[in-house]
Copies of this chain bind each other. A is one copy, B any other.
């Protein structure tokens, strides 16, 4: 009835063996006699014994846990990265523990501290806004990898997608459809926003379109995308296509254009970034740039494992290629 946790010693007593033997059985050690093994297993079952990971971690000096700090649990981008993380963590006999910063920097710092105090064997920071001092600090006590954010911090690994190249793909696609007047809705301080903007500008230049390239401010939210469109409309001289810095903002833009009586893609083409589940919804069908989130998560764990198990110490910074996904929001320009 009481929430009594039987220990290895209770099991030992019941099975009439030493605690060491029970410990061996629980860990699946090979050289244990069949009869006693059976007795121990039976006793454990009867008592409802469950190993105490806390005690185990204390003596082994490792937890077999990876901590995942997510900046935002609500952004499908991150939760899809987690899928990749869980997959490869699990196959390496590690478990993943997720915490979220509740979208605030202070919350993130606290969540990271919780994980560090728990002595996780490695830390994956996905899209956090933590200052690099805390990150460097954390990295002195356990391996850290940043996903979807680049860093110069010493001793920290990172895996990002090539935002510049991705933005270029968006422009190439629109150019191939015949667009020349293209506007970019900026992502503000969002992770990767700056590279996407410079990738956009670079690609426009490459196509000789620098004179018709425009950038309007925005951010990574639905409202940010809508605000960007508002700026486009106010400016007059409508472009024929808009490249928005992420999917959520692109959906905000989509709605804003519709509200203004402009049809997508007939009047205006729209490209997003990330290829989250949102973009794939049938009702939305957003043309976008896919970041291989699953792969990025898997890779993050591999970087961790290289440090934990293989003892690597030199930092590695991986860049993964994005990919264009064409859906229904892009078409040749009118006329």
Q: What is the size category of the interface that chain A forms with chain B?
A: 35 or more
Q: How far is the CB of A104 from chain B (nearest CB, A)?
A: 11
The answer to whether B100 touches A97, judged by C-beta atoms less than 8 angstroms apart, is no
The answer to whether A137 touches B48, judged by C-beta atoms less than 8 angstroms apart, is yes
Measured between beta carbons, the chain B residues less than 8 angstroms from A252 are: 282
The reply to whether the CB of A51 lies closer than 8 angstroms to some CB of chain B is yes
Measured between beta carbons, the chain B residues less than 8 angstroms from A267 are: none
**Interface 0/1 of A62-78, CB less than 8 Å to B:** 01000000000110100
Closest to A98 in B: B98
Binds B, one of A31-39, A113-121, A168-176, A182-190: A113-121
Counting every copy of the chain, the complex holds 2
The answer to whether A50 touches B116, judged by C-beta atoms less than 8 angstroms apart, is yes
Measured between beta carbons, the chain B residues less than 8 angstroms from A53 are: 114, 117-119
Q: List 27 A-B contacts (CB under 8 A).
A: A3-B140, A3-B142, A5-B119, A53-B118, A54-B54, A54-B57, A54-B63, A54-B118, A54-B119, A55-B58, A73-B73, A73-B82, A73-B83, A74-B277, A79-B79, A82-B100, A86-B100, A87-B102, A95-B99, A95-B111, A95-B114, A98-B100, A222-B282, A226-B282, A251-B282, A251-B283, A255-B283
7 pairs of A and B residues whose beta carbons are closest in the complex:
A255-B282, A53-B117, A98-B98, A255-B283, A73-B79, A95-B114, A54-B57
A residues with a Cβ closer than 8 A to B are 3, 5, 48, 50-55, 57-58, 63, 73-74, 76, 79-80, 82-83, 86-87, 95-100, 102, 111, 113-114, 116-119, 137, 140-143, 222, 226, 251-252, 254-256, 258-259, 277-278, 281-284
